[in-house]
Copies of this chain bind each other. A is one copy, B any other.
């Protein structure tokens, strides 16, 4: 039986920009006041959260002097210490300021690219100072509406140059950081150059230090492409590259909704939770979402509570799935032969034998695959009917 009370052991985290989201959207003005940060940390701790994550400018204004920066950071560290929360992940905002209006690392202007590198170096430093072990890159402006203006091959090279530089820098500085790359198909740009988690998995192997770089899949971003997020996260796990994860929700193929985890896609997210539990993912579970614009300050905590509660409810369903005799019996039947079979390692002899092996194709096509039954058992289980 899973406890439904969140605890630090669950490693639930929230971005300052998530609980601090003020309800502004493309068609509307803010509906909520700015967050009282120390109070918010206390609140999150009381709810059972483990930590908070941040962009540099969630904390330090982009125009802050060095002295102001240090003062703000000191105050935040005090508030953090008082709350008992940690900061496992940090990142830089390379998308809000007009300087990045046509990209940060992919800008045509080498001075903008250099500024983006500098801003990232400082955000890494801030992250390390706050104890973060993971540094996330989300290239919100690294894309295009006008494909005539930029060669996407060149854009990829520019991102590589930047990440290689920053890996070297982190190594030289002995920063205890791993990098996690976060993809998104579009918005705010017409198309982003790395539209899915897989785009970054492909890119990583071409880096100078691939071992220190992984991915940060975001459920909602995969849903924006109409993709099975469970499969996307599975590919990251299989590649040993799931360094961080952004848990939220979203209807398929529409604007970035950043909904409360599990509020939309109950069945799909059950499988995501199952995957994280089955493969013992032990990084932070970061809820990168925000309360509805219609919510007031209290509603933000309802939102935060809901994210964690639904995760734990689904985790409890994972336990039941494992212990459900009928489900397990079907799975055992499905994979019966598989366990006993030898692997298909290549050898010349194996190839010769295989080439002449006789198969009864029609007989093989008769094997029972009771997927309707199995799927209905999962629906029953999710609905609390078993």
Interface membership of A385, Cβ < 8 A:
yes
Chain A, residues 137-163, CB within 8 Å of chain B (1/0): the string is: 000110001111111110011000110
Which of B169, B186, B196, B383 sits near A383, CB closer than 8 Å? B383
Q: Are A306 and B255 in contact (CB under 8 A)?
A: no
Please state if B226 and A251 are interface contacts (CB–CB under 8 Å).
Answer: yes
Residues of chain A from 201 to 224 with CB closer than 8 A to chain B in the complex: 201-203, 205-206, 224
Among the listed B109, B121, B364, which residue makes an inter-chain contact with A367, where contact means beta carbons less than 8 Å apart? B109
Q: Considering the chains assembled together, what is the distance between the CA atoms of A225 and B255 in angstroms? A: 12
Q: A325 interface residue, CB < 8 Å from B?
A: no
Stretch at the interface among A43-51, A73-81, A96-104: A96-104
Q: A28-B97, A238-B153 are in contact. Are A225 and B224 (CB under 8 A)?
A: no
Q: Which 8 A-B pairs have the closest CB atoms?
A: A384-B384, A201-B202, A252-B252, A255-B255, A168-B346, A152-B234, A110-B341, A205-B205
Asked if A5 is at the interface of the complex by the 8 Å CB criterion, the answer is: no
CB distance from A142 to the nearest CB of B (A): 11
Count of identical protomers in the assembly: 4
**CB < 8 Å: which of B114, B147, B335 contacts A354?**
B114
What is the bound-complex CA distance between A271 and B151, given in angstroms? 10
Chain B CB within 8 A of A302 CB: yes
Q: Which of B102, B156, B185, B373 contacts A227 (CB 8 A)?
A: B185
Give Cα A187–Cα B235 distance, bound, in whole angstroms: 20
Q: Are A373 and B302 in contact (CB under 8 A)?
A: yes
> Residue of B at shortest CB range from A295?
B372
A259 at the interface (CB under 8 A from B): yes
Stretch of A7-15, A34-42, A126-134, A262-270 on the interface side:
A262-270
A31 to chain B, nearest CB (A): 4
Q: Is A370 an interface residue (CB 8 A)?
A: yes
Q: Is the CB of A29 within 8 A of B98?
A: yes
* Contact with A359, one of B114, B239, B255 (Cβ below 8 angstroms): B114
Given known A27-B140, A372-B260, A383-B384, contact A156–B234 (CB-CB < 8 A) = yes
Known A-B contacts A111-B337, A254-B253; the reply to A235 vs B156 at CB < 8 A is: yes
Q: Given A114-B359, A252-B252, check contact A101 B190 (CB 8 Å).
A: no
